[in-house]
Structure 1
Amino acid sequence: MNNLYLTGLPRLRHLLTGLLLLWLVVTTGWAQITPDTTKLPPVGVDRRTDSLSSKHSRVIADSVLKQRDSVFYSGLKRRMYKHRLTRQLYDAVFHDVYNSQQSTGEVSTIEVNPFKDFEGRVIGDIYIRRLGVFGQSVYDTLRQSDNWLERTANKLHVNTRERVIRRYLLFREGDALNSTTLRDNERLLRTTTIFHDARILVVPRTGSRQFVDVYVITQDVWSLEPNGGVGSLTQFNIGFDQRNVRGLGHQLFAQFAYTGTDPRQQAEYQSRYTIPFIGKTFVTAQAEFLYLRDLKQGAIRLYRPFITPDTKYAGSIELTHTQINSRVVMRDDSVEYIPLRYNYSDVWFGRSFRLFFSEGDSSVRGRARLILAVRNTNYQYLWRPPVTNDSNQLYQNSRTTLFSLGFSRRKYVRDVLIYGFGRTEDVPVGRTVSVIYGFDNAELGRRTYVGLNYSQGSYIKNLGYLYGLASLGGYIRSATIQQGVLSFESNYFSPLLPTGWGNMRQFINARYTTGINRFNNEYISLSSSGSGINTDGIGINNDALRGTRRLVLNIENILFSKLNVVGFRIAFITFANLGMASFPEKPLLQSTLYQGYGIGFRLRNENLTFNSFQIRLSYYPNIPNNTIPFRQAFEGVPALRFRDFDQSAPQIIPYQ
């Protein structure tokens, strides 16, 4: 939504404004262009139609936020920029604050918490406004779908039910309004898989200095994603992913595959059902069943994360039964399949305590937390190869108990065009430190575990966003470190650079990992699928790209173009992936620098649950046993998530 300010001398300003309005009326036939800026009267909601009236919607958009309709001004600017004279006239009259901040990547004035003016006032009524998937937006509820396909899709989609939306609210009628809680609640709604975007508005009651009403506006994503493929009459797969079953917020994934020529198992099936935020407990339940060729698994989970910095309690319970043919690449490059069958249980609980500091900017004061957590995991093997001190140490029966003490301080900055294609993105800013200590009671002896994590991320003025993570951990037995790991990771993205074709960002990710006295056949790899920032390797699978140490550098440039095809935004990418891996007998920097380069483009419609579609052409000049250096791919790219600064279950630092 644009926040526009008139500039220039008063008389000239009025004259130019009059000319603009007259020109618009003549050329477009829009007669009413001045929004209603009267004070908001008491607002009624027709719960049968679940909609505010057009007048009330206009009042909310214009009076509460004191900003004008984004579609009107975007259309006005687009029309006037077609001719040199009218473009100069537009630039002389209007200063486009919102769009200029979006295009430069600077932190927007929207970061000023809009709820602070109502701090401490009593929340009266809470109204829910549910928007259609296509056409409208939370910043312009008056916009309508402009084609029959979108209108038909809106009718077919079942919007999230009002009672379900209320489960996601961190406040209720009669509470004293907390501006930070409302800001966190907006972010929580946006991070769910069922909403494309969300917005909360606070409206003072007429004639009352004590009460305010709250409007929660949500826009669903299209929730049904079919998937499948056909190779022949005897080789096919079909399935779907429903992210919002009948508007209840439940998620159902199911897939069936058939390969008639495979003698081991011809039919495969997998399914998963998730019920988020049961009641008002913020507990999520999930059941999963896999019946695949080399993996049979059943699992049930209950979990509650630290949703916001104000969440006091978190935890989870997971029970899993697994039967797997584990594929292991040996040091001599031979491949073995090891049959395993085991039960796994995982239980953890955490408690958060608020810390107060006077230093720092006001937006993060009171956001610091001290988190205590305990976790117990248990592996019980029912079927495995013999375990000795020299072989198969990974498959021990074991019970591990971990304790963690952590410090977390975080806030979120709203930005656009990072991992999304125009939706609001909440970028975490802050730091976290955690210490892990515990015991591993395994068949081959008892070991002590010690680990340390430190991470920090923030915007650097005029330079972009930088995130860093350092981790060190390992088991200790007889004063010797076993299965240790040391890793560093850094992620960077630049400010938006406006160009004539769209907005551009640069992404740079670097990762270094080394193992310390790892077991035999433990290693890390440069192999992975994807490209650029969407991979933790160099974008190609190859068993030769292995070692106990690894260094990876991913560089990607993304041009978010202005092209829009049936609601799909198009981004053009170029990338370079560089990596090295080695075993202890050879220094890492003396190993081969494996390389991958490529170009391509991605398509995404943010109103759909589908992954981004990517078409890329890659070149790998020096991969061992690779007879095809040029490769092309059409693939789905899942949406990336930011590394947050929350604390969760104590965990063994992963060797990956």
Structure 2
Amino acid sequence: MLLLLLLWSTTPAIAQDNTSKKDTTKQDNKIYKEIETYSDKSKFTKLLHKLLFRPVKEQEASNNRKQTKKQTPEMLSNYKEYEGKVIRHIKIETFDPFGYSVSDTARRPKKWIERMGNIAHIKTRQFTIRNLLLIKKNKRLDSLLVKESERLIRAQRYARAVMIKPVAIPNSKDSVDIYVRVLDSWSLNPNGSASGSGTTIEITERNFLGLGHLYRNEFDNRFSTGETSYATQYKIPNIANTYIDFDINYAMLQSENSLKSVGLERPFFSPYTRWAGGAYLEERLVRDSLPDAENNWALENQKTEVQDYWGGYSFRIVKGQVRTTKLVTTARFFRRKYKEAPSEPYDPIDYYSNEKLYLSSIGVMSRGFVQDKFLFNHDVIEDIPIGRTYSGTIGIQDKNSKHRLYLGGRYALGNYHKWGYLSLDTKVGAFFHRNKTKETVLRFDMLYFTNIKKWGKWKFRHFVKPSLVFGNNRKPIITDLLNINDENGIQGFNSRNLYGTKKFLLTVQTQSYSPWEVLGFRFNPFTNFTMGIIGDDVHRLFESKVYTKFGAGVLIYNDYLVFNSFQLSIAFYPTIPGQGHNIFKTNTFKNKDITLPDFQINKPIITPYE
């Protein structure tokens, strides 16, 4: 009955030309109330109503976060009193990164180094910011779209702070002016690392010529082989206010590896987005080291061409209610063609073979964002996702003359609580062939971080990130096995001897935020602990050997570079199979060890097994 009410409520009405907007809203509210009343009749319908209709909201904020909000003018808003008024003008002002403030209009650069930095900086152009706005001139002000526009501007790596302020017009009751003030960050970001094995230098311009375009170049040199790698990327985000991104990549890597790719994509970038899609073309050459049946390793070529197309649409479940809760449908076609594949001794099961994949998914997502500070940056507003997502995926894979059914599902949720932030992401997926499951995956990913802790003028935050992955009926080839190497588990850990079908990872990090700065630089000490366990069909997961890494160091932030940090760190590894015992490495920690969850539903994918 609840579903019937839902379908009835979303069916277009006929002959309503004479019905006012007020009457329509009243009717929508009545329908929603009927659904809410009916849902209370049983536990199942009550749960279904909670999952489909109830918007996700932040739980009670901690006292520290309440205090942070009061002390940050950009986090305070007064949009509601202007709700529904017509926007007469939108005035945009962008500021160089040094010495200015979006909340203090009288503030100006005083130091000579600030003035010199501003001279060298190309300021963001006004039309670049205008392209990001969801509000338009001569349209009615929607406070939700104003807040979302602020978030979308903050999400750009070249914007340090933003404030959108409505201003009343004298002698006008139905109109309002909008002032948008954006403070740039220093967008030319050098980055690099050095260790006993090699050096890496990366130069990224995140706001090329003030257009918001990204231009990245990376150089890498390995001391042991003398090989040099080069990679470049150019990205045009949000073409002509469509939120379609254009991305092109070219790379010549070590061991003759190479990559050429070009893509267009419009994701569900906002809870209010209705349509999304993308197209991606790639040519890649990988010379990977693979073992044969006698565990002899050799470099084998994998040269592939990829085509990837997808599209999706989101529907508001009940018109006029719960605007951030959407029913989302997506479809995808993926094709990978092998122009070169590993020879038979290194791939006896034809794992590296041509493939076509047809996928479709349907799900419900409810997304929101909470503003916070002192997480991945120093004293900068960050938008932390909260929400719920439940989706199912179905598809067909054509590979090795077999047509296999694929089924997958996902349930994710995350929110702030009085004791901190907690998110959980659960995924499952499997292929079916001749009534048997193949290549099954079940994974759990969790993130918890505490509220800000204060000790004198210092601030601290603790992060905990466990991950659990199970695989069953996997392919008998090393590529389809789990490991805990580098980005797959423990940074700086690399072993050819450790593989399995199940793994558990745990990362614990304590990050401090220093009260002192020197020329805009802050030295923030951290400690990091990571452990990993690998199991298989013979060795039970939690009875297997535990491998660990203990790390410590300093993250060097700059108030004006904002989104980049330098690192000085050292890590200790008690054991790395195949390398030895009691190993020390430098600069092994990267700030991307802990990342925020994502409650979007985008293109359908096979549940990742990694």
CA–CA separation in structure 2 for the residues paired with 1:106 and 1:610 = 21
The alpha carbon displacement at 1:141 in A equals 3.6
Gaps of 5+ in 1: 1-97, 359-363, 530-534
Q: Match for 1:393 among 350, 366, 377?
A: 350
What is the number of residues matched between the two proteins? Answer: 544
Q: Is the 8 A contact 1:160 1:244 kept in 2?
A: yes
Is it true that 1:308 corresponds to 2:270 in the alignment? Answer: yes
Aligned-pair identity in percent equals 28
Q: Aligned runs of 1:237-386 on 2, under 5 Å?
A: 240-255=203-218, 268-294=229-255, 295-328=257-290, 334-356=296-318, 365-385=322-342
**1:379 counterpart letter in structure 2:** R
CA–CA separation in structure 2 for the residues paired with 1:403 and 1:152 = 54
The alpha carbon displacement at 1:501 in A equals 4.3
* 1:101 partner SS: helix
Is it true that 1:478 corresponds to 2:441 in the alignment? Answer: no
**1:527 counterpart letter in structure 2:** N
Q: Match for 1:509 among 465, 474, 480?
A: 465
CA–CA separation in structure 2 for the residues paired with 1:525 and 1:400 = 26
* 2:151 partner SS: helix
Is it true that 1:552 corresponds to 2:505 in the alignment? Answer: yes
Q: Is the 8 A contact 1:402 1:436 kept in 2?
A: yes
Going from structure 1 to structure 2, the CA distance change for 1:628 and 1:259 (only over 3 Å counts) comes to closer
The alpha carbon displacement at 1:498 in A equals 1.2
Going from structure 1 to structure 2, the CA distance change for 1:237 and 1:389 (only over 3 Å counts) comes to closer
The alpha carbon displacement at 1:280 in A equals 2.0
CA–CA separation in structure 2 for the residues paired with 1:249 and 1:221 = 12
Structure number with bigger Rg? 1
Going from structure 1 to structure 2, the CA distance change for 1:636 and 1:131 (only over 3 Å counts) comes to farther
Give the match for residue 482 of structure 2: 524
Q: Match for 1:441 among 383, 398, 403?
A: 398
**1:504 counterpart letter in structure 2:** F
The alpha carbon displacement at 1:229 in A equals 8.3
Q: Is the 8 A contact 1:194 1:244 kept in 2?
A: yes
CA–CA separation in structure 2 for the residues paired with 1:184 and 1:304 = 17
Q: Match for 2:85 among 121, 137, 142?
A: 121
**1:308 counterpart letter in structure 2:** S
Moved more, 240-249 or 569-578: 569-578
Q: Is the 8 A contact 2:195 2:586 kept in 1?
A: no
Going from structure 1 to structure 2, the CA distance change for 1:559 and 1:112 (only over 3 Å counts) comes to same
CA–CA separation in structure 2 for the residues paired with 1:411 and 1:231 = 41
The alpha carbon displacement at 1:129 in A equals 1.1
Higher relative contact order (CA 8 A, sep 6+): 2
CA–CA separation in structure 1 for the residues paired with 2:376 and 2:200 = 30
Q: Is the 8 A contact 2:341 2:353 kept in 1?
A: no
Give the match for residue 162 of structure 2: 198
CA–CA separation in structure 1 for the residues paired with 2:72 and 2:104 = 18
Is it true that 1:611 corresponds to 2:575 in the alignment? Answer: no
Q: Aligned runs of 1:486-635 on 2, under 5 Å?
A: 486-520=442-476, 521=478, 522-528=480-486, 536-537=489-490, 540-608=493-561, 611-627=564-580, 629-634=582-587
* 1:546 partner SS: coil
Q: Aligned runs of 1:411-490 on 2, under 5 Å?
A: 411-461=368-418, 463-490=419-446
Give the match for residue 137 of structure 2: 173
1:45-68 per-residue CA deviation (whole Å, 9 max, x = no partner) reads xxxxxxxxxxxxxxxxxxxxxxxx
Q: Is the 8 A contact 1:131 1:141 kept in 2?
A: no
The alpha carbon displacement at 1:272 in A equals 1.2
Q: CA RMSD in A?
A: 3.0
Going from structure 1 to structure 2, the CA distance change for 1:340 and 1:505 (only over 3 Å counts) comes to same
The alignment's TM-score, normalised by the length of structure 1, stands at 0.77
CA–CA separation in structure 1 for the residues paired with 2:297 and 2:64 = 54
**2:139 counterpart letter in structure 1:** D
Give the match for residue 25 of structure 2: none
Q: Is the 8 A contact 2:193 2:587 kept in 1?
A: no
1:208-241 per-residue CA deviation (whole Å, 9 max, x = no partner) reads 1111111111112212124578999xx9876632
